[in-house]
Amino acid sequence: MKAVKNNKISLIGVPLQYGADRTGVDMGPSAIRSSHVQTRLEALGYHIRDLGDIHVNRTIEACAAGEKLKHLKEIKNVNSQLCQVVADEMDKGQFPLVLGGDHSIAIGTIKGVLQHVNKLGVIWFDAHTDVNTDETTFTGNIHGMSLAVALGYGHHELTSIGGAEKTIRPENVAIIGARSIDPGERKFLKEKGIRVFTMHDIDRNGMKQVMEEALEIVTNGTDGVHLSLDLDGMDPGEAPGVGTPVSGGMSYRESHLAMEMLYERDCLVSAEFVEVNPMMDQHNKTAKIAVELIGSVFGERIL
């Protein structure tokens, strides 16, 4: 394991909401910034470059009736930009920290990281598994397809971003916190042998054991690990301001323990925090929790 460890972080905002049904997640990057993410990281000794936001066309009208993948063109455009920015920042020795936006932005983030890291492990915190494709989706929402695309499955307009050959391997992926999985996704996950730690696993075995097993999966034979954290992995009582809330999620302390264990393992090369929706939030609570989790994954401790 040769993670790129340094104290130089590039903040990259992606105010994209076209991958989801609910409006509001496009305000996620500004909500996280206004919750003092930069100040918190600087207090931990990191040097921060805030690159601002990837350009998103905010004037796109509703999808046409029967459109299979909603807003495919703009989502491809935004993720292509993001892929290039992430790759460029890593080329400069920076750690890319991406702020979403809906979870479709994981396509651009991971594809950008893959320009530098050939064998990439991915730890995916989410209530959902996001392995639908254009053939299995019920909704047409691309934020539910991003992990499948990173694995090389789905619409060619998406899998071709950053090069169709740039993919992650199923055996290097661990999904944590899942509790809402579509039928087509169940089949895909079983066929590909992807390890999913559901809320049942966390309830039965505890977050410590789940994280230990997940870390073994994502670090086994890889050159670095990407963290993709959807705030809806947490319980809506803890994090109400998310794009697609699902009851029965991870607690505040379980989530922090997971981030603390990730930091201790010293394996991350990139990270993204997505699906903060200020329109659904209570007094910016979820954005503040996102910043607190970012603090933990970069070494902040109680004592």
CATH code of 290's domain: 3.40.800.10
Task: Assess if residue 2 is contained within a domain.
Answer: no
Average pLDDT estimate for 237-262: 97
Task: Assess if residue 303 is contained within a domain.
Answer: no
88 a catalytic residue: no
Q: Which of 71, 103, 226, 256 is catalytic?
A: 103
Task: Assess if residue 210 is contained within a domain.
Answer: yes
Is the pLDDT at 22 greater than 50? The verdict is yes
Task: Assess if residue 302 is contained within a domain.
Answer: no
In Å, how far are 9, 165, 250, 289, 297 from 90, measured between CA atoms? Answer: 10, 19, 31, 26, 19
Q: Which of 26, 89, 102, 130 is catalytic?
A: 130
203 a catalytic residue: no
Is the pLDDT at 1 greater than 50? The verdict is no
Predicted pLDDT at 61: 75
Q: Which of 26, 89, 275, 300 is catalytic?
A: 275
Is residue 62 very low, low, confident or very high in pLDDT (cuts 50, 70, 90)?
confident
53 a catalytic residue: no
Residue 175 near residue 196 (C-beta atoms within 8 A)? yes
pLDDT tens figures, 185-195: 999 999 999 99
Task: Assess if residue 3 is contained within a domain.
Answer: no
Q: Which of 89, 134, 232, 254 is catalytic?
A: 232
Q: Which of 230, 260, 281, 300 is catalytic?
A: 230
Is the pLDDT at 119 greater than 90? The verdict is yes
In Å, how far are 156, 278, 297 from 288, measured between CA atoms? Answer: 37, 11, 14
Q: Which of 71, 116, 143, 256 is catalytic?
A: 143
130 a catalytic residue: yes
200 a catalytic residue: no
Q: Which of 71, 116, 128, 256 is catalytic?
A: 128
103 a catalytic residue: yes
Is residue 2 very low, low, confident or very high in pLDDT (cuts 50, 70, 90)?
very low
Percent of the chain with pLDDT over 70: 97
Average pLDDT estimate for 131-136: 96
126 a catalytic residue: yes
Residue 241 near residue 280 (C-beta atoms within 8 A)? yes
Is residue 170 very low, low, confident or very high in pLDDT (cuts 50, 70, 90)?
very high
Q: How many domains, the chain?
A: 1
Task: Assess if residue 208 is contained within a domain.
Answer: yes
Which range, of 52-61, 125-134, 144-153, 203-212, averages the lowest pLDDT? 52-61
Task: Assess if residue 252 is contained within a domain.
Answer: yes
Expressed as residue numbers, the domain containing 162 is 8-60+67-297
Tell me the sheet residues that pair with 48.
Answer: 9
C-alpha span between 41 and 142 (Å, rounded): 31
Average pLDDT estimate for 275-282: 97
Q: How many helices (H) and strands (E) does the chain have?
A: 10, 8
Is the pLDDT at 3 greater than 70? The verdict is no
Residues 6+ apart with CB under 8 A from 84: 112
